[in-house]
Chains A and B, each alone.
Chain A
């Protein structure tokens, strides 16, 4: 005779990652480290935006960049040229970064930073489900990649706090309209902070980096107030 039994679980599948992300977040709160998780399709300009961001902020802040791709260390090399610490996570065939990967790279550095920028694998699906312990996700959508991109990938828009519309210098050469990209994204997440930038012209970059500076300051103050 065999006996059947049902075990009531109600357990989140990504509990292990969520738990590690929570620990990461606690560490970052203690050191006053602001952590960004950049997500987008491949080719939306994550690396270029990071390069401009570190150029603007490196004089006043200790910055660490973690970049994820399936293969090559090209992105980390591009960023390290600007004189900040950058490591590449070559995921092999994984389509996202997880909390453990980020924690491991930070532990290897052995010191706290003011700003950690994680450049996730170019993919608008999986990184939405994996919390890294970041303060917020920054979603990039480039001019010309499809103004309806935000409504095609709503979970990622939902998971993000900031939208950066990139490559705005290309507007005259495409049928793309940043206002439509923005409106589509706000239908999914109305409280998104939206920036429009071009690393070429360099429209909107100052606005983005000064907003980031104020967030950096706020995070430090919260940590010191404890």
Chain B
């Protein structure tokens, strides 16, 4: 629901990376989005394209990698894919677990292009 805010943050970071590397263009921006992060993929893509148009990073494309929610049981040690409506260990049913992934919103990689001098 706050995809516009997330898209804006991504734009700030990518713009910073472009400046730091004195790049001329930005290509593919790879982001990891956990399936429990509450982010709608299509909406994020739409927002990113809309707000970057006409800016220093115009033409940058978002590549969204969805990250499955994984839990690790503290009782039996099982690592399991967390079901969206039931987070308990899939092996022993324990309610004591750590979430290893699934709620991240992070920028993995930015592809930049520079014209070579001379």
- A residues contacting B by CB (< 8 A) are 1-14, 16, 94-96, 123, 125-126, 128-129, 151, 154-156, 158, 186-191
Chain B at the A interface: SS class: mixed
B36-A125 in contact (CB<8A): no
Residues facing A in B63-118 (CB within 8 A) are 84-88, 95-96, 99, 103-116
Give Cα distance in the complex from A129 to B99, angstroms: 15
Contacts of A95 in B (CB 8 A): 1-2
A129-B109 in contact (CB<8A): no
**Can you give 12 contacting A-B residue pairs, CB < 8 Å?**
A1-B115, A2-B25, A2-B115, A5-B111, A5-B113, A7-B111, A8-B109, A9-B106, A14-B9, A151-B86, A187-B87, A190-B95
Give Cα distance in the complex from A13 to B13, angstroms: 8
Closest residue on chain A to residue B40 by CB atoms: A125
B85-A12 in contact (CB<8A): no
Residues facing A in B22-56 (CB within 8 A) are 23-25, 27, 31, 36-38
Instruction: Choose among A3, A10, A186 the residue that contacts B106 (Cβ–Cβ < 8 A).
Output: A10
Closest residue on chain A to residue B114 by CB atoms: A3
Q: Which 10 residue pairs across A and B have the least CB separation, nearest first?
A: A190-B95, A126-B2, A151-B85, A125-B1, A13-B105, A7-B110, A125-B38, A12-B106, A1-B116, A13-B9
B112-A7 in contact (CB<8A): yes
Contacts of A8 in B (CB 8 A): 108-109
Shortest beta-carbon distance, B88 to chain A, in Å?
6
Contacts of B10 in A (CB 8 A): 13
- B residues contacting A by CB (< 8 A) are 1-2, 5-6, 9-10, 13, 17, 21, 23-25, 27, 31, 36-38, 84-88, 95-96, 99, 103-116
Chain A at the B interface: SS class: mixed
Shortest beta-carbon distance, A8 to chain B, in Å?
6
Give Cα distance in the complex from A73 to B99, angstroms: 38
Contacts of B38 in A (CB 8 A): 125-126, 128-129, 155-156
Q: Given A3-B113, A12-B105, are A155 and B37 also a contact pair (CB < 8 Å)? A: yes
Give Cα distance in the complex from A12 to B106, angstroms: 4
A126-B87 in contact (CB<8A): no
What 13 additional pairs, Cβ within 8 angstroms, besides A16-B9, A158-B99, A190-B88? A2-B25, A3-B113, A5-B21, A7-B110, A7-B112, A10-B107, A13-B13, A151-B84, A154-B84, A154-B87, A158-B87, A187-B87, A188-B87
A14-B105 in contact (CB<8A): yes
Give Cα distance in the complex from A189 to B6, angstroms: 26
Closest residue on chain A to residue B96 by CB atoms: A190
Contacts of A2 in B (CB 8 A): 24-25, 113-116
A129-B105 in contact (CB<8A): yes
Contacts of B106 in A (CB 8 A): 9-13
Give Cα distance in the complex from A5 to B113, angstroms: 6
